[in-house]
Structure 1
């Protein structure tokens, strides 16, 4: 596969993995768009299956979203990423890149005009001497090698008088080939976004669920009014799902959480809008307090400040392997053994007495339906039933428990918050 993305990979992926792939790619593109140096991300390794799937799935999301700002962000970020990757290619990698594209183009029944020009360029770049020249010794205004293409496929170069024109044929010098590759990539991406229809996918709740989450994630980063501050967590907890509300209440009561539950809760706060500096302030305030009651955590802020700072920054992708962690879904929480922990899914693990403080305001008819769903092991559906009963105006959920997450619960429940 090539990072030019001529064709999508074929196969099947579970929806939760697809969600992880596109969220990681979106975060990566935000980094690229902001001009920051790239960090390692296993889901955006160039030429990998995840890289291909993430690109084409986000293309679908951009088409379905019909949001000009988001579309422009995606175009600019993908283009900048392509430029970075292209500039980093060695002569050997350039030849490999060209050969992969030529193999893909050969499978086309009807080759588009811009792809025909790409084919001509790749036929030259696959040659050893040419690739070495372009990637090492080629300088500005170098004309050692040239390709001939229809002038319509390189109009920006024609407009800037950077090519020679003869009878409608443009001769592009080797000093412009990388620039021309970027133009062809942009043209191919625009063609895909403008001339592809996915109307039938609008009836697929899985795709629309992914689209809703992407809208939320993109808005969270761009809209600074959605930043969650440490001092506002208590009032915001009114919209937390019971599993995270339980962790919040336990933390406020004992001022400590076990390692795994602190990790889950930290990622939840991060994904609903808490920046790293606010996260440090939040945990500093709690772990400076003397612990109450029984707990499995022996840390204090004074003794372990360096560990806490590193751990928090690590979760935000600022330390270590620079991986940007995301919060877990309901299925993961429900599958974890919480016998010796204060966490877990309340609808699965808690008895009625322990559930009561978390489900305040729940009417008897709703509670009866929740218990019925619990008896059928439909814990996520029970959680969604509770959410809809408590936030009647916030039913912007697709009513599918498929890959539901605590973050999705919060995003749905908090839509009517008035700042």
Structure 2
């Protein structure tokens, strides 16, 4: 499988693996463009299935997001990765690379314009003598020992800079420019894909929409003004809590009352706040304000900000991908929250774990409310997520899409209740 990415691999992958592959590649490209030491990533091994899937999924994200910033980032990152890979090839590897490319080219039915010069270049590079010449450590960019003849329209970049000889509509491209030309053709291939691929059917796929949301979270700094996710300040959390799902509203109220949360619930609530727009600096402000206060009543947490500031700062920065393994964590979905053991916890899904009195209290419903009886019916059937969506619809006077229940989460609830989706 070639890392030129002429065609996507076929097959099936679980959604969670697809998500891991895509976000890992995104972080890998970010590190690459920052010129940081790039750690090994199992999902970006050149020529692997995961590598192919990650590349095409990021292309899908760029096309569907319609973000100029994300598209440019993808172009810069993928071209930089291609340059590095090309520069590390031995003569044998180079020949294998172009042979794979030629096999892929043969599968094209309606080939774009850049395919012909790519095929011509590969036919030269697959020759042993030429591959060894190109990969020689002493080979210079000014070398003109070998040439290939190409139509001038395929080499306009070189012509504009007067870097090639033009004769009777043909360009003599010297071997010193061949690597540079391969990079240019790779960029042309990627730009062609991003501007000429129709993905309209995917817009209604809830799995793709869920993945796109997470990619938008990961790439806030690349988004233009119209696509940027709204920021949330620490002083605005109380007012924003009016739109929280019951599970997160319960944690918020408990925290404001006790000034403490158990480790697991603090982790889940922190990720929720992060995913609805609380930046790392605002998160530090929010949690420091709470944990500087003395706990109200007995609580399993005996820590305080003054005593454990370094620990808390590290934990918050770790969640934002700024410490440790630098993984950018995302909040849990409803299925995960409902599966938690909350025997020693303040949280959980109210529709599953709360008794009648506590559920009415957090939902702000009375016994005679018709909505409460409808929720209880769903609860009795174990349809906790459906009960939450029903509550959302009645609370906000909206009708939710049937696909919303797929991988439903507290963040989706908040987005719908604030009409951000």
TM-score of the superposition, structure 2-length normalised?
Answer: 0.84
Question: Structure 1 residues 362-371 or 317-326, which shifts more?
Answer: 362-371
Alignment counterpart, residue 107 of structure 2, candidates 81, 106, 109: 109
**Cα separation, partners in 2 of 1:217 and 1:166, compared to 1, 3 Å:** same
Q: Does the 8 A contact of 1:40 with 1:322 survive in 2?
A: no
Q: Which residue of 1 aligns with 2:286?
A: 282
Question: Structure 1 residues 143-152 or 343-352, which shifts more?
Answer: 143-152
Within 5 Å, which residues of 2 pair with 1:106-185? 106-107=103-104, 108-110=106-108, 112=111, 113-123=113-123, 127=128, 130=131, 133-134=134-135, 136-185=137-186
Q: Which residue of 2 aligns with 1:85?
A: 81
Q: Which residue of 2 aligns with 1:99?
A: 96
CA drift of 1:106 comes to 0.9
**Cα separation, partners in 2 of 1:302 and 1:74, compared to 1, 3 Å:** closer
Matched, 1:403 2:407: yes
Q: Does the 8 A contact of 1:3 with 1:82 survive in 2?
A: no
Q: Which residue of 2 aligns with 1:188?
A: 189
**Cα separation, partners in 2 of 1:100 and 1:239, compared to 1, 3 Å:** farther
**Structure 2, gaps ≥5 residues long:** none
CA drift of 1:232 comes to 0.9
Q: Does the 8 A contact of 2:145 with 2:174 survive in 1?
A: yes
Q: What is the CA–CA distance in structure 2 between the aligned matches of 1:248 and 1:149, rounded to whole Å?
A: 66
TM-score of the superposition, structure 1-length normalised?
Answer: 0.84
Question: Structure 1 residues 164-173 or 15-24, which shifts more?
Answer: 15-24
Matched, 1:382 2:379: no
**Cα separation, partners in 2 of 1:289 and 1:328, compared to 1, 3 Å:** same
**Cα separation, partners in 2 of 1:358 and 1:195, compared to 1, 3 Å:** same
Bigger Cα Rg: 2
Q: Which residue of 2 aligns with 1:364?
A: 369
Matched, 1:75 2:75: no
**Cα separation, partners in 2 of 1:16 and 1:233, compared to 1, 3 Å:** same
Q: What is the CA–CA distance in structure 2 between the aligned matches of 1:59 and 1:215, rounded to whole Å?
A: 13
CA drift of 1:410 comes to 1.2
CA drift of 1:283 comes to 1.1
Question: Structure 1 residues 43-52 or 82-91, which shifts more?
Answer: 43-52
Q: Does the 8 A contact of 1:220 with 1:227 survive in 2?
A: no
**Cα separation, partners in 2 of 1:208 and 1:276, compared to 1, 3 Å:** closer
Secondary structure at the aligned position of 2:89 is classed as helix
Q: What is the CA–CA distance in structure 1 between the aligned matches of 2:291 and 2:414, rounded to whole Å?
A: 25
Within 5 Å, which residues of 2 pair with 1:34-45? 37=36, 40=39, 42=41, 45=44
Q: Which residue of 2 aligns with 1:197?
A: 198
Question: Structure 1 residues 91-100 or 45-54, which shifts more?
Answer: 91-100
Secondary structure at the aligned position of 1:172 is classed as strand
Tell me how many residue pairs correspond in the alignment: 411
Q: What is the CA–CA distance in structure 2 between the aligned matches of 1:248 and 1:215, rounded to whole Å?
A: 26
Q: What is the CA–CA distance in structure 1 between the aligned matches of 2:222 and 2:244, rounded to whole Å?
A: 20
**Structure 1, gaps ≥5 residues long:** none
CA RMSD of aligned residues (A): 3.4
CA drift of 1:196 comes to 2.8
CA drift of 1:235 comes to 0.7
Q: What is the CA–CA distance in structure 2 between the aligned matches of 1:129 and 1:97, rounded to whole Å?
A: 10
Deviation per residue, 1:110-160 (Å, 9 max, x gap): 362423433443455565874685584344433344443333333222232
Deviation per residue, 1:175-212 (Å, 9 max, x gap): 43343223212221232233333344445444455556
